[in-house]
Amino acid sequence: MAGNWKMHKNISETTAYFEKFLPLVSESKHCQIVACPPFVNLPAAVDAVKSSRVEIGGQNCFWPNEGAYTGEVSATMLKAAGAKWVIIGHSERRQYFGETDETVLKRTVAALEAGVNPIVCVGERLEERESGRTNEVLETQFRNGIAGLSPEQFSRIVIAYEPVWAIGTGKTATPEIAADAHRALRDAVRGKFGSEAGNSVRILYGGSVKPDNVKSLMAQPEVDGALVGGACLQPESFASIVNF
Ligand code: PGA
C-alpha cells in the first residue's frame, strides 16, 4: 500500500503525520507500507519511520547521478536520503512535465541501479477508454517503457495501473475495470518476460482509492495493492486503507 503525497505537506506536517499514522498501523503485517512525500521532506520522513515497518519513497528521479540539471534529483540522492522506493511515470508527470515511456524507462533503470525500488505508473486517459483503446494504450506504454528492462531488472519493479480519468476525480474504476486492465498488463508482461513474470509481478491500482472502496478493489485477485493520492493525506484515512 503506497501513499503518493504529491505536492502536499511541509517538514513539520510530515513529522506530525507519522506521529499519528504509525500507531494506527503498528499491528499491520499483511502488506508493505510506503509513503512518498515531496523530496524536501524525505529526511524527516525517513527519521520518523525508522523504528517502524513503514518505508519511504520519492515521487520521481532523474537518470544521471549528478550534473548540471537544475531542479532535478537523482536516484542515488534518493537512496542516500534513505528512500527505498520511487514513483516513476505518474500521469501528472507525463501530462505536465513531458514524461514519455522512453524517459520512464531511463528513470526506472537509474532507480534500479541505485538500489531504489521503482513503482512504475501506466494508465489510459478518458478519451482512450471511451474509444475502446485501453488495452492498446497499456500495451504501448509497457512496450515502449518497461519492456526494455532485463528480466532481472523487471523482477524488481512494481507496476501501478492508474487510469488517468480516475485520478483525483473521485471516479474510481470498478473492481472489474481494474481487474481487466491488470489482466491486460499481465498478458503483456507474459508476452515479453514469460508466464512466471506475468503471474508474479505486483500490480497496484491507483485512482480515487478510499477507505470505503479499497476492500472491493483488493478482493480482485488481479489487484495486489493500491497507490493512493488524496486519501493518504490524512493519517486515519491512509491507515484504514492499509488495514482494509
Ligand atoms: P488519487 O491519486 O487517489 O487522489 O486519485 C492517485 C495517484 O495519483 O497516485
pLDDT in tens, 39-54: 999 999 999 999 999 9
C-alpha cell at 45: 520522513
Q: What is the pLDDT of residue 43?
A: 98
DSSP H helices in the chain: 11-24, 42-48, 75-80, 91-97, 101-114, 126-130, 134-144, 151-154, 175-193, 195-200, 214-218, 235-242
CB 206 near ligand 1, within 6 Å: yes
Q: What percent of the chain has pLDDT over 90?
A: 98
Span 157-193, pLDDT tens digits:
999 999 999 998 888 899 999 999 999 999 999 999 9
Q: Is the pLDDT of residue 5 over 90?
A: yes
Which residue has the CA at smallest separation from atom 7 of ligand 1?
229
Whether 122 contacts 141, CB under 8 Å: yes
Question: Which pTM was predicted?
Answer: 0.97
Helices (runs of H) and strands (runs of E) counted in the chain: 12, 8
Q: What is the pLDDT of residue 172?
A: 86
Task: Measure the CA–CA gap between 44 and 33, rounded to whole angstroms.
Answer: 17
What is the rounded CA–CA span in Å between residue 201 and residue 217?
17
For a ligand 1 pocket test, name from 88, 217, 228 the mutation site with the most ligand atoms within 8 angstroms of its C-beta. 228
**Whose C-alpha lies nearest to ligand 1, atom 1?**
229
Contact 146, 157 (CB under 8 A): yes
The torsion angles phi and psi of 54, rounded to 5 degrees, stand at -70, 135
C-alpha dist (Å) from residue 215 to 142, 177, 210, 224 = 27, 15, 9, 12
Percentage of residues in the chain having pLDDT higher than 70: 100
Residue 227 CA to ligand 1 centre (angstroms): 7
Which pLDDT score is estimated for 186?
Answer: 98
Average pLDDT, the chain: 97
DSSP 41: G
Residue 113 annotated among the catalytic residues of the structure = no
Q: Does the annotation mark 139 as catalytic?
A: no
Is residue 23 very low, low, confident or very high in pLDDT (cuts 50, 70, 90)?
A: very high
What's the pLDDT score for residue 171?
A: 86
Residue 143, pLDDT score: 97
Catalytic residue among 92, 124, 128, 162: 162
What confidence tens digit (pLDDT) does each residue in 100-127 have? 999 999 999 999 999 999 999 999 999 9
Give CA separation, 47 vs 30, 44, 127, 176, 196, in Å: 23, 5, 43, 39, 37
What is the CA(242)–ligand 1 centre distance, in A? 15
Within 10 A of 89 (CB to CB), how many other CB atoms are there? 27
Mean pLDDT of 228-233: 98
Task: State the cell numbers at 130.
Answer: 471511451
- All three cell numbers of 53, joined, read 515497518
